[in-house]
Amino acid sequence: MRLTMWRILTLAMVATTLGSVAAEAQTYTPPQARRQFISVAYNWLYTWPQRLADHPLEDLLGTPVDDADPPHDYRTRDGSTFIDLLEFTRRGQGASVTVYPIGMSVGPTLGVRGSVENLPDIRFAFDGPGALDSYALTNAIAYDVGAGVYVADRAPGWGLGSYAFMLGGVGKITSDLGSGQRYFAEGGGGIQSGPLGFEISVKFGWNQLNEPVEHSFYTLPINLRATVSF
């Protein structure tokens, strides 16, 4: 009987020891953020004029253009034509949808974004012997498609996470002046809590139009986006 009791106690001690070792061997796995596959955003843009003397003015007039003293804004280098910038709208709106084909959670991933956004209204008046008396780009809208890399560090649940991205792409322009195309590059980042987020980015655009002559202009808006992701 005493031998049997010793065997039982010995087996219990061995089982307890093995259980403790197995528990210590287990690796703790923290909760992971759920992958997101699509993000919908509404954005606000603020655009500064970028080298208007080079593009579009030199394209439109076919001659070098410099800044001018008041009351004019620009003049041709030979002094024959003076140009006034009548309008350049800085504020705009847009919307976008971003798809993450393999999901976004923690680490790098691919993102494909389609967006629609306003381009600035631009109006010039010309005083000189050239063929143009005025120039008006109004109601211009850019339809963009781009792809790039997102690097995320999202938090599980409603925790605060963040991400950064860099992408590039092409777009189509429609306006009262005619249609055109553009190329763009964009970089920025954002924060998220659950499905809700806020994003800030800078987007460089090279915009090309064919009317009244072939010309281009640059845009460099700051984008602020409110996002909902799934």
What DSSP assignment string belongs to 117-176?
EEPPPEEEEEESSSS-SEEEE-S-EEEEEEEEEEEEEPPSTT-EEEEEEEEEEEEEEE-S
Residue 22 lies in a domain: no
Q: Tell me the residue length of the chain.
A: 230
- List the domain range (segments joined by +) for residue 180: 36-229
Residue 83 lies in a domain: yes
- Residues 176, 118: contact at Cβ < 8 Å? no
Residue 146 lies in a domain: yes
Query: Looking at residue 78, what is its pLDDT?
Result: 92
Q: How many domains does the chain have?
A: 1
Instruction: Look at residues 41, 40, 82 and name the one whose alpha carbon lies nearest to residue 61.
Output: 82
- Residues 123, 87: contact at Cβ < 8 Å? yes
State the CATH number of the domain containing residue 180: 2.40.160
The pTM assigned to this predicted structure is 0.84
Report how far residue 201's alpha carbon sits from residue 210's, in angstroms, rounded to the nearest whole number. 29
230 residues of the chain, pLDDT tens digit each? 444 655 555 555 545 554 554 444 456 567 788 899 999 999 999 998 999 999 999 999 999 999 999 999 999 999 999 999 999 999 999 999 999 999 999 999 999 999 999 999 999 999 998 778 999 999 999 999 999 999 999 999 899 999 999 999 999 999 999 999 999 999 999 999 999 999 999 999 999 999 999 999 999 999 999 999 99
Residue 16 lies in a domain: no
Residue 161 lies in a domain: yes
Instruction: Enter the tokens of residue 109.
Output: 């991933």
Residue 55 lies in a domain: yes
Query: Looking at residue 32, what is its pLDDT?
Result: 81
Residue 115 lies in a domain: yes
Residue 23 lies in a domain: no
